[in-house]
A and B are shown apart, each in its own frame.
Chain A
Amino acid sequence: MKRRLRLLVGLAAVGSMVMTACGGSGDEPQADSAPYKIMISAGSDAGGQTDQLTTGVISARAAVKVVNDAGGINGKPVELIESPDNADPQKALSNLRAQIAKDRPDAYLVASGSNVSTAVAGILRQNEIIFLDSGNSADTNKPAENPYAFHLAAPFKTVVEGYLPQFEQNGYKKIAVLHGNSAYAKQFGALAESVFTEKGYETSVVEYDAKALDMTAQISALQAKNPDVLVFNGYGAPVGLVLQGITKLGWNVPILGDTSVTSTPLVTTMPPDGLIGTPETKNLKIEVTTSVNVATASEATKKAIEAMKSMGEIKASLNNCLNFDAVMLLAAAANHAKSNDTKAVADALLLPEVNTKAGTAVYDTYPYTADDHQPQLPIETHTFVAPGVLKDGQIGSAEN
C-alpha cells in the first residue's frame, strides 16, 4: 500500500513538473527567442509633415530588413512596431504606454518633428528604453538625467556654422536672417544671430508668422538694412511666399535657405508644381548634407537608398531618413556589446569603433560623447547647392 502511495505521489510530482515546464513554454515566448523590438511613431497623415513622416518610417523599415538579412541583433530578429499616431504627441504617448504594458519595446524612434519626442521622453526614461531622437528635442540631450536618449539630427550649431564658409568665400559682411515662428525656427534664428554676431558679422534678424499669407512687410524690413546675403528658414507655403515677396520687391540678393527650405518640395520640383528655374529661385542656394547631394554621397548612402526604394517611394529628402541610421546604430551597438541590455547598448553607442562602422546613410558617423548626446558633426557635413529636382531623397541626379 505504502509503495503504491509513494508511486502515486512520485507520478503526481513528475506530472506537476512536466506541466509546469509545458506551461512555461506555452503562450509566452522564451526570452532567448524574443525579437529585438523597436517602436516607431508612425502613421499616414501628419498634415504638412506627412511626407517627412512616411519617409522616416520607410527608412526604418528598410534598415530593419537590412539588419535582419544580416542575421539580426545578437542572433535575434528585429521587429518594428509602428504606432499609428500620425505624429500626434497624445496618441503617441498613449500607444507607447499600452505597448509597455503589453510588451516593453527595447528602443523607440520618432519620424516627424520634436513634439512626439518631448511627449514620450519621460516615460522612455522611466522604463529605461533607449531613444534615438531624430526630432532633437531639448529633453533628449541631457545625459546626466537620461543616459539612454541620443539625438540623430545635426546639432543646430553645425547647421548654423555651415553658413560661415559661404560668408567667407563670398565676402559677405552684412547678414540678414529671416525665420519662422515655430520652436525650431525661433531656435534657428536665435542661434544664427548669436553665432554670426560672435564671428563679427553685422546681423539683422526678422521673424515672420508661418500662417501669414503675405511676407512683403518682413522682407522689406530686411531689405532696408541693405545686407549682402539673406539667410532664410522656412517650410511649406511660407517658402513660396517669401520667394515671391523677394521677387515682387525686385530685391536682387543672394539667398541661403536652411535644411527646412531644402525639405520643401516647392524648391526641389520643376514648374508648374515647383519653382526650379523661375525668377524666384534665381539667387537661391539650399543647405544639404553631403549625403543628400548625389555628387558627394557615400557608397553606404547609395546602398541605403536602394534598400529604402524597395520599401516604397522616398518622398522627402534624405535628411528625413535618420531612422535608417538609428536602426543601424542600434544593431551595431548591441552586436558590439553582445547584449540587448539598454545600458550596454547606450555605452556602446559612445564608442567610435561602433558609430563609425554601423553602415549609416545620412551621416557617416555619429560621434557622441558621455557628456553630449548630440552627434558632434563637423561643419563639412553640410554644404550649399542650387535648387534641383529631388529624386530618391537626393538632389543632383543625372535626371535633374
Chain B
Amino acid sequence: MTLIYAGLSLGAVYALVAIGYNIVFIASHSFNFAQAQLMMIGAFVTYTGYVTFKLPTVAVLALAMVVVAVLSAIEERIAIRPVSDHQTQLITTLGFGTILTGVAQLIWGTQPLQVPFFAGAEVLTILGGRVFPVEVALVVFAVALVVAITFYTRRRMGGLAVVAMSQDEEAATLRGIDVRMLAFAAFAVTGVLGGLMGAAIGPKTFAVASLGAALAIKGFVALAIGGFGSMYGGLLGGFAIGLVEQYVARYLGSNFTNLSVFVLLLLVLMIRPTGLFGRVQERTV
C-alpha cells in the first residue's frame, strides 16, 4: 500500500500542474508554460511565510495566493495579451517561467528549503501502508479541486461564461461576455490556485528553484493522457503517471521510469488521440 500511496501523492502533484494548465486552456485555448514555475514560487512564499515571518497557516496561504495571483496577472499582461497567436504564447510563457526561476534563485538561493506542513510530519499508517500527512492532503486537495472546478463550470454563470468563451469567443462576446476580462480573470484565478498548490506541494518536494522544470513536463503529459480541457482527465492522467513511475522504479529500475511514462502516453494517444477524456470538436463550415 505504501507504494500506491506514494504513486497517488506524486500523481496528485502532476495533476495539480495539469489542472493549472487546463484552466488557462479552457479559458483562452493557450498553454501557460509558466504554471509549474508559479507553483514553485507558491512553495517558496509558503516557506517564507512559515519560517521567515512565522505567520499562522491562514496568513501563509493567503500570502502565497496573493503573491502568485499578482505574478500571474503580470504574466497575462506582458506575456499573453500583447501576443496575438497561441503558438507564440507558448514561447512567451516559457520565457516568463524562466524569469521566475531566475528570480527565485536570486531571492531564495539554489539549495532546497524545507517547507513546513500545518498538519505535521508524523508518518500515518493507513490500511497497512505508510504515508505522510501532506501526501494524504495532496490527493484530497487534487480531487476536491477538480470536483469544485467542474461544478463551477457547469452550474455557475461565471463558469458557464468561461465555457462559452472557450467554445466560441465571438458568440460569447455577442452574448455580452467580456472576453478579455474573463481571460484575465482566468489567469488571476490560476495564480490564486497556483499559490495554494505551491503551499501543498512544497512540503513534499522541498522548495527548490529546479522544481518548476521537474513539474512542467510531467504535468503536460498528465494533461495529454487525460485529454486537453478535461479536469477529470488531468487528474486521472496525473495519478496514472505517479503510479507507473513508482511501480516501474520499484520493479524495473529508475532507468525505465521516464520511458514507461512516455510509452503510456503513446499508447493512450494511439487508442484515443484526444486523450482519455478529451473531446473532438466538430464545426460546420
Residues from chain B with Cβ under 8 Å of A218 in the complex: 249-250, 254
Residue of B123, B245, B249 contacting most chain A CB atoms (<10 Å): B249
Q: Which residues of A contact B112 (CB under 8 A)?
A: 236-237, 240, 266
Asked if residues B130 and A266 are in contact (CB atoms below 8 Å), the reply is: no
Instruction: Tell me whether B257 and A209 are in contact (CB under 8 A).
Output: yes
Residues of chain B within 8 A (CB-CB) of A49 are 110
Within 218-276 of A, Cβ neighbours of B (below 8 Å) are at 218, 220-221, 236-237, 240-241, 244, 247-250, 264-266, 271-275
Does A128 lie at the interface of the complex (its beta carbon under 8 Å from any beta carbon of B)? Answer: no
A180's nearest neighbour on chain B, judged by CB, is B254
Given contacts A216-B246, A218-B249, contact A47 B209 (CB under 8 A): yes
B210 & A48 in contact (Cβ 8 Å cutoff) = yes
B49-67, CB under 8 A of A: which get 1 and which 0? 0110000000000000000
Chain A residues whose C-beta falls within 8 Å of the C-beta of B111 in the assembled complex: 48, 51, 236, 264-266
| Residues of B contacting A265 in the complex (Cβ-Cβ under 8 angstroms) | 111
Q: A207-B255, A216-B246 are in contact. Are A275 and B114 (CB under 8 A)?
A: yes
Residue A123, interface by CB 8 Å? no
Given contacts A218-B249, A266-B112, contact A213 B204 (CB under 8 A): yes
When each residue 229-247 of chain B gets 1 if its CB lies under 8 Å from chain A and 0 otherwise, what string results? Answer: 0000000000000100111
Q: How large is the interface on A (under 10, 10 to 19, 20 to 34, 35 or more residues)?
A: 35 or more
Is A79 an interface residue, CB under 8 A from the partner?
no
Is A214 a contact partner of B10 (Cβ separation < 8 A)?
yes
Q: How far is the CA of A172 from the CA of B204 in the complex (A)?
A: 32
- The reply to whether A48 and B110 contact each other, CB–CB distance below 8 Å, is yes
- B253 CB–A CB distance under 8 Å: yes
Q: Does B6 contact A (CB under 8 A)?
A: yes
Contacts of B116 in A (CB 8 A): 272
A217 touching B6 by the CB < 8 A rule?
yes
Contact pattern, A 45-75, Cβ under 8 Å of B = 1, otherwise 0: 1011111000000000000000000000000
Q: Decide yes or no: A216 and B245 within 8 Å by CB, A47-B210, A221-B250, A273-B113 being known contacts.
A: no
| B3–A220 CB distance below 8 A | yes
Pairwise interchain contact B114-A273, C-beta atoms closer than 8 A:
yes
Give the residue of A213, A216, A266, A271 whose beta carbon is less than 8 angstroms from that of B3: A216
| Residue ID in chain B nearest A266 by CB atoms | B112
Q: Does B205 contact A (CB under 8 A)?
A: yes
Asked if residues A216 and B2 are in contact (CB atoms below 8 Å), the reply is yes
B125 nearest CB neighbor, chain A only: A250
Chain B residues with Cβ below 8 Å from A275 are 114
The answer to whether B253 touches A207 (Cβ under 8 A) is: yes
Contact in complex: B123, A250 (CB < 8 Å): yes
Q: Would you call A211 an interface residue if the criterion is a C-beta within 8 Å of the partner chain's C-beta atoms?
A: yes
The docked-state distance in angstroms from the alpha carbon of A50 to that of B215 is 22
The reply on B131 being an interface residue by CB < 8 A is yes
A248 touches B255 (CB 8 A): no
- Least Cβ distance of B208 to chain A in Å? 5
Closest to B255 in A: A207
**Assembly CA distance A274 to B215 (angstroms):** 23
Least CB distance, A296 to chain B, in whole angstroms: 26
Residues of B with C-beta under 8 A to A208 = 249, 254
Q: Is B173 an interface residue (CB 8 A)?
A: no
Asked if B206 is at the interface of the complex by the 8 Å CB criterion, the answer is yes
Does A206 touch B at the CB level, under 8 Å?
Answer: yes
**Residue B13, interface by CB 8 Å:** yes
Cβ contacts under 8 Å, B206 to chain A = 237, 240-241
Q: Spell out A's residues near B (CB within 8 Å).
A: 45, 47-51, 181, 206-209, 211-214, 216-218, 220-221, 236-237, 240-241, 244, 247-250, 264-266, 271-275
Q: Give the 3 A-B residue pairs with the shortest CB-CB distance, closest first.
A: A217-B249, A216-B6, A217-B250
Q: List 27 A-B contacts (CB under 8 A).
A: A47-B209, A48-B111, A48-B208, A50-B105, A181-B255, A206-B253, A209-B249, A213-B215, A214-B6, A214-B10, A217-B3, A217-B249, A218-B254, A221-B250, A236-B112, A237-B206, A237-B208, A237-B211, A241-B205, A248-B131, A264-B111, A265-B111, A271-B114, A272-B50, A272-B51, A273-B113, A275-B114
Taking Cβ atoms with an 8 Å cutoff, the residues of B that contact A are: 2-3, 6, 9-10, 13, 50-51, 105, 109-114, 116, 123, 130-132, 204-206, 208-211, 214-215, 242, 245-251, 253-255, 257-258
Q: A213-B10, A214-B9, A216-B2 are in contact. List 6 more A-B contacts (CB 8 A).
A: A51-B110, A209-B249, A217-B247, A220-B250, A236-B208, A236-B210
